[in-house]
Amino acid sequence: MLELPDGSICLPRPSMASRKVAKGRREHFTGQLNVGPDEGTCMDIESYTEFQVALTLLARPEVTHVENQVPFTFLNADGRPATHFFDFLATHTDGSRHAIMVKSDYRFRSPRVSEELRLIASQVNADFAERVMVMTEKHFTTAEFFNAEMMHEMRWPDPVVDGAALRVVQPIIGAVRISDLVEAIGHGGQGFRAVVRLIRDRHLAIPDGIKISYDASVTRNKQDA
């Protein structure tokens, strides 16, 4: 949902995925994310691991676009045509596309599941994706997901505070504690949220493995310097 300057509401577009995800099932995590420019598109989520992977992909600086539930036709073990829906298709800054299957680590270690995934991956060509990969909860750190979730939660812009934050960080050299930036911005907790958005928008960088907090230090992104 996006609130426009005149106070009206613009609802996100329904999910464009080819496969519908049944939401609201008991004893099974399902949900929905609003993603893209101006919260323009809904993304249906079918498991908690899928939710974690989605936010992690969206936060990674090398990823520019993420689609979900993307169909791919392959020949199954009996030689008959079948359709597999890749959980995500991620486009990177270099233009390459990564087709991603999301599984829990427990399920991925099942010989039957891993053999089926290998069969599908072996038939993917560059017209669909340059790389096929499986992502489990083992393929991102606690800190990476923590930061990704925080960046998604605090994504809503505040033009006044964001402008003040950008002016504060433009002249910095070297590493600076986030608490010092928040104090210099001068808007209390809103200043912290603005710093998180600067990290999300690649103006600031936080070291790998470090959770975003007042005590953490950040640097200006090299491309921004």
Domain assignment of residue 102, yes or no = yes
Q: Are residues 164 and 92 in the same domain?
A: no
Q: What is the pLDDT of residue 29?
A: 82
- Residue 124's nearest CA partner among 97, 92, 151, 144 is 97
**Is residue 150 included in any domain, yes or no?**
no
Number of domains, the chain: 2
**Based on the domain organization, do 105 and 30 belong to the same domain?**
yes
Q: Residues 190-194: contacts with CB within 8 Å, 24+ apart?
A: 190/158, 190/161, 191/161, 191/164, 191/165, 193/154, 193/158, 193/161, 194/158, 194/161, 194/162, 194/164, 194/165
The CATH number of the domain holding residue 197 is 1.10.10
The CATH number for 101's domain is 3.40.1350.10
- The reply to whether 99 and 208 lie within a common domain is no
Domain boundary, last residue among 87, 112, 139: 139
Which of 112, 139, 166 lies at the terminal end of a domain, its last residue? Answer: 139
In-domain check, residue 163: yes
Farthest CA pair distance, the chain: 65
Same-domain pairing of 62 and 11: yes
Same domain, 161 and 114: no
- Show the domain range for 161: 157-224
Q: State pLDDT tens for residues 138-194.
A: 999 999 999 999 999 998 889 999 999 999 999 999 999 999 999 999 998 999 999
Q: Residue 90: pLDDT above 80?
A: yes
- Look up the pTM and report it: 0.83
Same domain, 108 and 184: no
Shared-domain flag, residues 29 and 127: yes
Per-residue pLDDT of 96-139, as tens digits, reads 999 999 998 888 888 888 899 999 999 999 999 999 999 999 99
CA distance 198 to 203: 5
Q: Are 87 and 129 in contact (CB under 8 A)?
A: no
